[in-house]
Structure 1
Amino acid sequence: MKIHPLITTSAALADLCTRLSKADFICVDTEFMRENTYWPELCLIQVADTEEAAAIDPLAKDIDLTPLLDLLVDNEDVLKVFHAGGQDVEIIYNLTGRTPHPIFDTQIAMMAISQSEQIGYSNLVEAWLGIMVDKGARFTDWSRRPLTERQIEYAIGDVTHLARIFPKILARLKKTGRGVWLDIEMEKLADPAGYRNDPSLSWQRIKAAGRNPAMLGRLKAIAQWRELEAQDKNIPRGRIARDETLADIASHPPKRQDDLAKVRGLSPGWKDNEIGKRLMAAIEGSSPLTDAELPPRTPRGAPLGKEGALVADLLKLLLKIRSREIDVAARLLARSEDLELLAAGVRELALLEGWRYEVFGRDALELVEGKLAFAVVKGRLKMAHIDEIGGQPAPPAEEAAAE
């Protein structure tokens, strides 16, 4: 594979993108800094196909990234391959308002062919190529120029190794027939809605007890205020105020600006400075959430009760057994909260649809309905139908939960 020198000119980048536009797939990675800023600062972009690889310096003077961004978001003929690519996709979305498509994430793919929940890149490389990745440059300052040869070599390695690994993962997926399992997961990763930053919705990320409309209205107002303050100053939102501080203010709103000095998490200066004044204006301008704005209640069936909780535990055990049997990450099949909902009587769940139903959901439902039981076969815990072991079906979990 040809490794290019660091690309710092628009002409060299345009030539590279012209060639890469003819590839079946390209591997993409980024290096960025965001510890001290609201918006991540893009410092390096690495790309590779099976023939060549390069690192691109987005901080180079007058460089035009348009050919690369067009390749990533407009060219539907080239598959874009990432590993744990959520933050990389976010950066591309921030630059273009769009996301790369079509897209493939090797971390997600590994969940379909192994029990790895969130395999790291270095472990992925070691598992597939037997190469130990040098992590020494991982936490360096990518914004500082000039970049060292070691930094560039480390960064390009992220895509050159991936270009060798991706075809192997793809072949395994084709052999197991599990590629279709990932279609929905990859579309979720590429969904622009997941990267839109609407300040008016930022309150939904903050944990707050209860569904009181007035309290949540204040939380919405001050969370939006914080988001806009952080964006304007380009500093992390936590530098303005922490989530728990906002939740406390929403629950126990100060009556006057002087009272801000008593709020845990705020400095005494807020009692008479401009940012404190703007916070008070946000509080005073808030209004209770409407019924339509209130978060939906968590769907529930009958209360679990002691017996129902045991059924949920059995479902979690079944999930472990099944993920081991078919060598797939348990989280790809079902979430713990969905198993609890199933035990409580809820039936509108992802695990009861499509391929998840075929490989896990059907057995989970039969366990809840008393048609399956656990058995030990040759020292291994397995599932067996009740009629196969001569037992009588148990009452469904809904009935057990109600007892």
Structure 2
Amino acid sequence: MHIHPLVTDSATLANLCARWAEADFITVDTEFMRENTFYPELCLIQVADVNEAAAIDPMAPGIDLAPLLELMTANDDVLKVFHAGGQDLEIVYNLTGKTPHPLFDTQVAAMALGQGEQIGYSNLVDSWLGVQIDKGARFTDWAKRPLEPRQIEYAIGDVTHLAAIFPKMLQRLKKTGRGGWLDQEMERLGDPANYANDPEQAWKRVRAPSRKPDVLGRVKAIAKWRELEAQGKDLPRGRIMKDETLADIAGHPPRKQADLAKVRGLSAGWAGNEIGARLMAALADAQPLSDDELPPRDDRKPGLGKDGALVADLLKLLLKIRSRDIDVASKLLARSEELELLAAGVRTGLPMLEGWRYEQFGRDAVDLVEGRLAFAVVGGKLKMTRSVDVEEMA
């Protein structure tokens, strides 16, 4: 494989992208810093196919990233391969308003191959290639220039290893017939809505102090205000106001701006400055949440009750057994919330009751809830058995 250590000019990048556009797939990784900014600061982009790899410097003066971004978001013939690519996709979305497609995430694929729910990159490389990665450059300040050769070599290794792993992983998925299991997960990962910072929805990330509509209305108003302030200043949300302070103000709103000086976590200057005034204006405009907006209660189990909660626990045990038997991450089969809803009587709209998930787990889950499946100990191991004479047991 030919390695381009660091691409800093537009012509070289455009030529690379033209060749990558003919590939069946490319592997992609990014290095970024976000400790001091709202939006992640893109510092390096690594791309490889089976023939050549490069580290691209997006901070190089005058470099035009348009050919690369077009390859990522507008070329449907080239599969884009990431590992745990959520933050990489966020960066592309911030630059283009789109996400890379079609895409493949090796961490998600590893779930279907029995490698756990969140296998790390170094463990993935070790398990598939028998290569131990030197982690010495992990904590590099990627925004600092010039980058050292060992830092660039480390960064490019992320995509060259992935380019070797992906065909092996694809072959294993085809052999086991599990490739189709991943379609929905990849579609979910690539949904642009995951990466849009909508100020109107920012309150959902905050642990609310109560479920009172007026308190939650203030949480929504303050979270929206904080999101806009953070975006406008390109600062992390916590630099504007920490969640704990936000929740405290929502639960015990100050009557006047001068009272902000008494709020723990705020500078006394907020009692008279412009940012404090904007916060008070946001509080003044806050409206109680409507019934439709109110989040579900903590148990999230409508009508479940104590017996239903025990049924949900049995479903979780069934999920553990089934994921072990077929060697797949349980999270890929079903999520805890789905099990609770099934135990509460829900039979529609659950992913586990559709397609391959139904065949592998959902059918048995319904049978367990409805009394057609039971637990048994056989040879010292917990297994499932079909119930006989269910009517007599009722």
Give the TM-score taking structure 2 as reference length.
0.95
- Matched with 1:386 is 387
C-alpha spacing 1:382/1:246, structure 2 compared with 1 (3 Å) = same
- Matched with 1:15 is 15
CA contact (8 A) 2:5 2:153 kept: no
- Bigger drift between 328-337 and 100-109 goes to 328-337
C-alpha spacing 1:2/1:394, structure 2 compared with 1 (3 Å) = farther
CA distance in structure 2 between the aligned counterparts of 1:19 and 1:393, rounded to whole angstroms: 69
C-alpha spacing 1:293/1:339, structure 2 compared with 1 (3 Å) = closer
After superposition, where does 1:5-154 map in structure 2 within 5 Å?
5-154=5-154
Deviations 1:172-198 (A, max 9, x none): 111111111111111111111111111
CA distance in structure 2 between the aligned counterparts of 1:225 and 1:330, rounded to whole angstroms: 38
After superposition, where does 1:177-188 map in structure 2 within 5 Å?
177-188=177-188
**One-letter identity of the residue aligned with 2:112:** A
Q: Secondary structure at the match of 2:137?
A: coil
Q: Which runs of 5+ in 2 are unaligned?
A: none
CA contact (8 A) 2:27 2:48 kept: yes
CA contact (8 A) 1:371 1:393 kept: no
CA distance in structure 1 between the aligned counterparts of 2:393 and 2:273, rounded to whole angstroms: 66
After superposition, where does 1:1-400 map in structure 2 within 5 Å?
1-295=1-295, 300-305=301-306, 307-348=307-348, 349-387=350-388, 394-395=393-394
CA distance in structure 2 between the aligned counterparts of 1:223 and 1:299, rounded to whole angstroms: 23
Q: Secondary structure at the match of 2:29?
A: strand
Q: Which runs of 5+ in 1 are unaligned?
A: 396-403
CA contact (8 A) 1:45 1:56 kept: yes
Q: Secondary structure at the match of 1:136?
A: helix
RMSD over aligned CA atoms reads 1.7
Cα deviation for residue 322 of structure 1 reads 0.4
Q: Secondary structure at the match of 1:374?
A: strand
Cα deviation for residue 231 of structure 1 reads 1.3
**One-letter identity of the residue aligned with 2:127:** A
C-alpha spacing 1:166/1:394, structure 2 compared with 1 (3 Å) = farther
Deviations 1:140-197 (A, max 9, x none): 1000000001100000000000000001111111111111111111111111111111
Cα deviation for residue 303 of structure 1 reads 2.9
CA distance in structure 1 between the aligned counterparts of 2:110 and 2:387, rounded to whole angstroms: 34
CA contact (8 A) 2:30 2:46 kept: yes
CA distance in structure 2 between the aligned counterparts of 1:96 and 1:183, rounded to whole angstroms: 24
CA distance in structure 2 between the aligned counterparts of 1:157 and 1:62, rounded to whole angstroms: 26
Deviations 1:72-122 (A, max 9, x none): 001000000000000000000100111101000000011111141100000
Give the TM-score taking structure 1 as reference length.
0.93
- Bigger drift between 257-266 and 292-301 goes to 292-301
**One-letter identity of the residue aligned with 2:383:** K
CA distance in structure 1 between the aligned counterparts of 2:292 and 2:311, rounded to whole angstroms: 34
Cα deviation for residue 391 of structure 1 reads 7.5
- Bigger drift between 207-216 and 252-261 goes to 207-216
CA contact (8 A) 1:386 1:392 kept: no
Deviations 1:273-311 (A, max 9, x none): 222122111111222334444446786442321x33222
**One-letter identity of the residue aligned with 1:263:** V
**One-letter identity of the residue aligned with 2:218:** R
Cα deviation for residue 61 of structure 1 reads 0.8
Calculate percent identity across the aligned residue pairs.
71
Deviations 1:310-367 (A, max 9, x none): 2222111111110010000001111122212222222232212221111001111111
**One-letter identity of the residue aligned with 2:355:** G
C-alpha spacing 1:12/1:393, structure 2 compared with 1 (3 Å) = farther
Q: Secondary structure at the match of 1:202?
A: helix
Q: Secondary structure at the match of 1:220?
A: helix
CA contact (8 A) 1:115 1:330 kept: no
**One-letter identity of the residue aligned with 1:72:** M
CA contact (8 A) 2:31 2:45 kept: yes
